[in-house]
Amino acid sequence: MKNGARRVAPDAMDRWPEERLAKFHLHKIRQLLRHVYRQLPFYRQRLARAKVDPEQVKTLGDLARIPTFSKQDVLQEIRRQGRFDFGLETIARRDPAVLCMTSGTLGSSFLYLPRKWRALRGDSLLRAYWWAGLRPGMRMLMAVPAWHSLAVQESRVIERLGVSTVVPWGTFLPRNAGNFIDAISDATPDFVSIFLPMLFAILAECRRRGAKPATVFKSVQSILAVGAPMTPRSRQQLVHELGVGDIFEGLGNPEGLTAMECASHCGHHIFVDCCFVEIIDPKSGAPLPVGQRGNVVITTLIPHGSIFLRYDTEDLGVILPGACACGRSWPRMEVYDRRANEVEIAGQRIVPYDVRICLDELPELVNLPFAVVRGETKMERLTLLMQKPASGNLEEIQARIANLLRKKPNVEAIQEWAEELPQRWKGVTVIEEKDWRRARV
């Protein structure tokens, strides 16, 4: 581990000037294009249909000529061919590999991840854990389920950094929160890597047990949370309640996106050493300028295993303008939600994150569960279902929320209070009107 430990500190690539990064991307993408055109039938057919010769891609802008594809296309190919490896995988028979699953509302697909993929992605991810404060010799609690591609990369980070690990019993479902509390209390980790909704489940379980979260997390210096967007107020309150040094939000998907907050907490730096991100107009497919919300399209730069080239993640995101206070040059992005969770209210398109930002203005509502009720017909007003706060005058709170939502995102809202949101709706930010009506009967 000594030799490995010497190599682990991240290099200076995150401070490369913009021009150098663009040159790096163009070189990597052109290499990748040649590779997929020669080796992978899925892309060869798509490029031929779109009449794109890889040699014609001479600038990063030319990349937009290559058609995007989404999970639907992947699932359709799996069904059509009756096999998981449908032609976007570089399979080297001699290189040991693992097969991971991607879950989702649409269905599961598979990722073929050979040893070289694990090494390159894991070494890139090490930088994220380093930024979050993980150092050699520390003890880390990891909570990623083994079927997830993050577990494959995380195990590499653990090896390279030389940290010891604690794995609690059970996956990150709320019913296992008790096991997580016991594991943290018994094993006293310095660092916790966790699925954000599970952190809320742990807090709820602490309340049920009458345990102080700061006592449970006494040994923990920092937390890396993934799986759901955290607003700035929500993060501050969590840091305070858990008594930890800091909480960092990581962003990623199994198809290749890695992005990570730095200590400035102003968006997520895109890990440009392993992925290239574009934001496109969901209707026209045209790339959008910095600062505009659209669909997040990713291209992996790792030429091993399953290769995703201009994959439309159907997430709604933005590349943030301006430089980061930390001085790193890697561009920053924010992902708000799945596009499917966007609702239109009197011509305004909003996602639950926009509502969360408003609710967080009121200290008594920070981190309190809520849901947007999606109407069956056109909506003129936003219907919010909220869990009652422990303190405060409800009428007054309601009026303040209505005012805030009128300012930004500029929608009229009606609100309903619930003693507690049903378990099945916790963590679900958009519920359908018919399900809500049924629950009220």
Q: Which stretch binds Zn ion (CB under 5 A): 182-190, 321-329, 348-356, 361-369?
A: 321-329
Helices 177-187 and 196-209 pack at an angle, to 10 degrees, of 80
Q: Do 328 and 262 meet the contact criterion of CB atoms below 8 Å apart?
A: yes
- Residue from 264, 348, 393, 410 touching Zn ion (CB under 5 A): that is 264
Can residue 52 be called a binding residue for Zn ion (CB under 5 A)?
no
Nearer to Zn ion, 156 or 265 (CB): 265
Can residue 326 be called a binding residue for Zn ion (CB under 5 A)?
yes
Q: Which of 438, 436, 433, 381 is nearest to 411 (CA)?
A: 381
Q: Which stretch binds Zn ion (CB under 5 A): 185-193, 194-202, 236-244, 322-330?
A: 322-330
Nearer to Zn ion, 325 or 346 (CB): 325
**What DSSP string runs through 89-126?**
EE--TTS-EEEEEE--SS--EEEEEEHHHHHHHHHHHH
**Residue in this structure with the two tokens 């052109």, named with its chain if needed:** 30
Can residue 333 be called a binding residue for Zn ion (CB under 5 A)?
no
Q: Which stretch binds Zn ion (CB under 5 A): 110-118, 279-287, 303-311, 328-336?
A: 328-336
- Residue from 244, 274, 301, 324 touching Zn ion (CB under 5 A): that is 324
In three-state secondary structure terms, 62 is helix
Can residue 321 be called a binding residue for Zn ion (CB under 5 A)?
no
Can residue 262 be called a binding residue for Zn ion (CB under 5 A)?
yes
Pairing label, strands 413-418, 382-387: parallel
Q: Which stretch binds Zn ion (CB under 5 A): 13-21, 46-54, 317-325, 336-344?
A: 317-325
Cβ at position 261, least distance to Zn ion in Å? 8
Q: Do 163 and 139 meet the contact criterion of CB atoms below 8 Å apart?
A: yes
Q: Is 17 left (phi over 0), alpha (psi -120 to 50) or beta?
A: beta
Nearer to Zn ion, 66 or 324 (CB): 324
Nearer to Zn ion, 266 or 439 (CB): 266
**Residue in this structure with the two tokens 């930024």, named with its chain if needed:** 131
Which residues would be at the binding site for Zn ion (CB under 5 A)? 262, 264, 324, 326, 328
